[in-house]
Chain A
Amino acid sequence: MSQAIKIKSLSKSFGPIHAVRDVSFDVGHGEVLGFLGPNGAGKSTTMKMITGFLEPTSGTVEVDGHDVLEDALSVKRSIGYLPEGAPAYGEMTVRNFLNFIADIRELRGSTRNQRLNEVIETINIENVIDQTIETLSKGYKRRVGLAQAILHDPNILVLDEPTDGLDPNQKHEVRNLIKKMAKEKAIIISTHILEEVDAVCTRAIIISSGELLFDGTPEQLIAKSEQGDIDHAFRNITMSKTIKS
């Protein structure tokens, strides 16, 4: 298993706020990493640094062997990213939006059409394809964001709360999609829905107040609770931290 993402002593401060403190971990191809933590833990900030949107205050991020500061464009080419809230251009139709992403990702000719058709089918957005994005429901907006992220069939996927705001059926679909893509790709998903970890992740990381508190398999995480309950384990880990600090 080769390393797709290498993070070393990553820190980010916004003025006096230490959003991420000295976080290190690697993600390999074939891994689905569940990135857990309470609200404000620093999950989105970490993802923004991995995808090159934010510059770290200190520490390094390497994606497929490229340093995110030195070779930002290569990093951006190999990653598919769903930012928190799935931002898009609201006035565009889904079709035009995906065509724009295909343009900028340099998808051409038959590969382009094939990828567009494949993605529209797997993400199930055929029926809204000519609707403007601003008129879509939250669930569909999220799906368009996902479609955008996987369009160029990237090796590495960074998904910030991909199932947030979806109904149970949609959640189920998205999880299946992630599982389907998991074999060849390195995937990081942030979530605060813990059942998701058990359902799709091969590994879990917990951060709280910017600090890494746990890194292991979902089974090891569950073992942190006497009752064998993942919610309980999560509380154990994140609350003990709050009491200490």
Chain B
Amino acid sequence: MNGLISIYKRELTSYFVTPVAYVFIVIFLFMTGVFTFYLGAFYESNQADLEPFFRFHPWLYLFLIPAISMRLWSDERKSGSIELLMTLPVSITDAVVAKYLAAWTFTAIALILTFPMWITVNYLGEPDNAVILASYIGSLIMAGGFLAIGSCISALTKSQVISFVISVVICFMFILSGFPMVLDLFESWAPQAVIDAIASFSFLTHFTSIKKGVIDMRDVIYFSALITFWLYVNVVIVENKKAD
């Protein structure tokens, strides 16, 4: 536990000693604004809720989360600091979880900084703030899913660029599998059970109810299982690749 906390603290502070963190947060806030007001037609909808804001989170995360996760393990391997880390008295699992939690906390900070959006909608109308809170929590959980994939992939390679690209591709597949267009491809020939299975793997499917402010246990279980799976694979990869 001590090792986990020490690494978590080190990782989290390391985000803020370089300008990268601030650049990331600015881009994140800018993009959420663009998506919500232009693509989401926030004003035109004449509805006092944040649905147009949350609707685009999967797409935003698709690129921004791999940008956070790409360096998690690839940098550690490239610089050789992994040898230091793995010879300190800490288990690989603790190190993986600590780095992951630090990245997740950083994401949470970026998400919290979108609060002007919430102030705006409260200024314009009378939204259901419980729904908004639930949507925020759901969005953060989904971000955790993207991050677990990204963290795992970053252990596969010493190159941050490769880590980024592969993570985006895999995350994209996890979004795409719930897309009507993709499901239509299977509609004509595959049994409904297969289509449901494919759709059930999609972040979109699980995010649909979340963005309306409904936190369904099944969605939480889905994301928890997904995160656990990818972090487990992450540990296995670090174990096998640490000295390469």
Contact B14 A87 (CB under 8 A): no
Is B155 engaged at the interface, CB distance under 8 Å to the other chain?
Answer: no
Task: Give Cα distance in the complex from A209 to B5, angstroms.
Answer: 42
Stretch binding the partner chain, chosen from A101-109, A119-127, A193-201: A101-109
Find chain B residues with CB under 8 A from A73 CB: 89-91
In the bound assembly, the distance between CA atoms of A77 and B7 in angstroms comes to: 16
The B-contacting residues of A in range 39-54, CB under 8 angstroms, are: 48, 51-54
The answer to whether A83 and B7 have CB atoms under 8 Å apart is no
CB distance from A53 to the nearest CB of B (A): 5
Q: A35 near B: Cβ within 8 Å?
A: no
Q: Which residues of B contact A85 (CB under 8 A)?
A: 80
In the assembled complex, B10 has its CB within 8 A of some CB on chain A: yes
The answer to whether A53 touches B242, judged by C-beta atoms less than 8 angstroms apart, is: yes
Interface of B is mostly: helix
Q: B204 CB to closest chain A CB, in angstroms?
A: 36
Say if the beta carbon of B81 comes within 8 Å of chain A. Answer: yes
Which residue of A52, A90, A96, A104 is within 8 Å of B3 (Cβ)?
A104
In chain A, positions 7-43 with a C-beta closer than 8 Å to chain B are none
Are B90 and A89 in contact, with the CB atoms below 8 A? no
- Asked if A87 and B88 make an inter-chain contact with CB atoms under 8 angstroms apart, the answer reads no
Give A96 to B12 CA distance when docked, in angstroms.
13
Q: A159 to B136, alpha carbons, bound, how many Å?
A: 49
* A79 CB–B CB distance under 8 Å: yes
What are the interface flags for B65-104 relative to A under an 8 Å C-beta threshold, 1 for contact and 0 otherwise?
0000000000000011111101111110000000000000
- Interchain nearest-CB distance for A86 vs B (Å): 9
- The answer to whether the Cβ of B241 comes within 8 Å of any Cβ in the partner chain is no
Whether A81 sits at the interface, judged by CB under 8 Å, is yes
Give the residues in chain A near B45, CB-CB below 8 Å.
none
Q: In the docked arrangement, what's the CA distance between A105 and B18, Å? A: 26
In B1-45, the 8 Å CB interface with A consists of 2-3, 5-7, 9-10, 13-14, 17-18
Known: A83-B87, A89-B79, A103-B9. 13 other contacts (CB 8 A): A48-B243, A52-B86, A52-B87, A53-B86, A54-B243, A73-B91, A76-B89, A83-B80, A87-B80, A87-B81, A87-B82, A91-B17, A100-B9
Interface residues of B (CB under 8 A from A): 2-3, 5-7, 9-10, 13-14, 17-18, 79-84, 86-91, 242-243
